[in-house]
Amino acid sequence: MKHTVFAKTPVKYILNTVCTAAVITLLVLLTSGGALNNYQTDLLKLIGINIILAVSLNLAAGFLGQLPLGHAGFMSIGAYAAALFSKSVALPANIEFPMALLVGGLFAAAFGVIIGLPALRLHGDYLAILTLGFGEIIRVIIQNMTITGGASGLRGIEKHTSIFWVYLMVAATIFVITTFIRSRHGRAVLAIREDEIAAEASGIPTTRYKVMAFTISAFFAGIAGGLYAHYLSILDAANFGFMKSVEILVMVVLGGLGSIIGSVVAATGLTLLPELLRGFSDYRMVIYSLLLVVVMIFKPSGLFGKYDFSLGGTLDSAILWLRSPNKFHTVREKIAKLKSKKGGKA
């Protein structure tokens, strides 16, 4: 087809890689060049970490259609595992840090399997409360172990988290999760969301795919935890309680369940909002919660619904519009028709 120039597979990958590399380079240059001060750099790192958390939770909540309330638990496991790893080995930072992140991710993924296997037998609100319970247990256990520093917290973690690593991980998370969703396994996961019993009847091993999605989600939460540990340099298990899980869930639902761009925008917005409202520091949490209620009442499907952004697709539409603005809408309708005939494959 002539009107898909950029949305073709090889072109799309090259385009996305180039643009991602450009954005990361720009961010690194901005921070190292001194265009952004320390406070702004830290805020950017926090935004990146929250994006990873929101996008990874979106896999379990938006695409798998479950309601996990223990995402902070996985994050804390990743954070402590990564921190303990990097504290116990003495390697150059550029080797040690990615290894620590991987250790954090793998530990969180292992717990994802351990918790997911029993938990995913349950449905809806029961699953929610079970994951909440696991999250709280993880917190209490970490608070009472000596190796994690107990209630006084783990101190003296090296500050390895740089803008480069954060945004590299953001890109990796978004890449893995979008490609997973578009793969054969991802379609199985989507089928489970739409109707679990029908999916099972069609021969999809639902337990395996549920645990798979849940584990991937936990893995990236662990990576985000590792980044967070090496960003703050002090870990306190009290920060990974139920409210942290809720905070991440709010980002996902506000952005739109099943919309990656929604999670990215909502994570960015909700991280910035309290900072922007610093001037009214007394009222900022009131405004935050009020905004949450108002958005949910007027736009219950979240800001982006299920819409997702594709760079290639957007460029194609732009070219089409430049060529013949009048024909633009009819051609778009035709493409939409073609897509639905082919069963969603473009």
Partner 1 sequence: MTLIYQLINGLQLGAIYALVALGYSMVYGIVQLINFAHGDIIMVGAYVSWYIIAKMNAPAWVSVVAAIVFCALFGILIEKVAYKPLRRSARISLLITAIGISLLLENTSQLIFTANPRMFTNIFSGAINIGERSVSYATLVTIVISVLIMIGLTVLVSKTKIGRAMRAVSEDNAAAQLMGINVNNTISFTFGLGSALAAVAAILYCCSYQQISPTMGSMLGLKAFVAAVLGGIGSMPGAMIGGLCIGIAEALTKGYISSQLSDAVVFGILIIVLLLKPTGILGRSDKEKV
Distance, in Å, from the CA atom of 148 to the CA atom of 179, rounded to the nearest integer, reads: 35
Query: Longest Cα pair distance anywhere in the chain, in angstroms?
Result: 69
* Residues 224/165, Cβ–Cβ less than 8 Å: no
What is the Cα gyration radius of the chain?
21
Q: How many residues bind partner 1 (CB under 8 A)?
A: 48
Q: Which residues pair with 23 in a beta bridge?
A: none
Tokens 């037998």 correspond to what residue? 121
Is residue 212 near partner 1 by the rule CB under 8 A? no
Residue 35 near residue 27, CB atoms below 8 Å: no
Terminal Cα-to-Cα distance of the chain (whole angstroms): 10
State the DSSP code for 235: B
Question: Binding residue for partner 1 (CB under 8 A) from 102, 106, 191, 292?
Answer: 292
Tell the smallest beta-carbon distance from residue 19 to partner 1 (Å).
32
Binds partner 1 (CB under 8 A): choice among 61, 75, 109, 235: 61
Question: Quick check: 250 binds partner 1 (CB under 8 A)?
Answer: yes
Binding of residue 306 to partner 1 (CB under 8 A): no
- How many contiguous H segments (helices) and E segments (strands) does the chain have? 14, 0
What is the closest distance, in whole angstroms, from the C-beta atom of residue 138 to partner 1 in the complex? 9
Of how many residues is the chain composed?
346
Q: How many CA atoms lie within 13 A of 345 on its CB side?
A: 6
Q: How far apart are CA 59 and CA 65, in angstroms?
A: 8
Choosing from 94, 282, 322, 342, the residue that interacts with partner 1 (CB under 8 A) is 282
Please say which residue, 183 or 202, places its beta carbon nearer to partner 1: 202
- Residue 133 CB, nearest approach to partner 1 (Å): 4
Q: Which stretch binds partner 1 (CB under 8 A): 166-174, 195-203, 220-228, 310-318?
A: 195-203
Determine, following the binding rule CB under 8 A, whether residue 274 of this chain makes contact with partner 1. no
Which residues within the stretch 1-60 sit at the binding site for partner 1 (CB under 8 A)? none
> Segment 149-168, which members bind partner 1 (CB under 8 A)?
151
Chain residues in the site for partner 1 (CB under 8 A): 61, 67, 118, 121-126, 128-130, 132-134, 136-137, 140-141, 143-144, 151, 195, 197-198, 201, 242-243, 246, 249-250, 253-254, 257, 282-283, 285-286, 288-290, 292-293, 296-297, 300-302
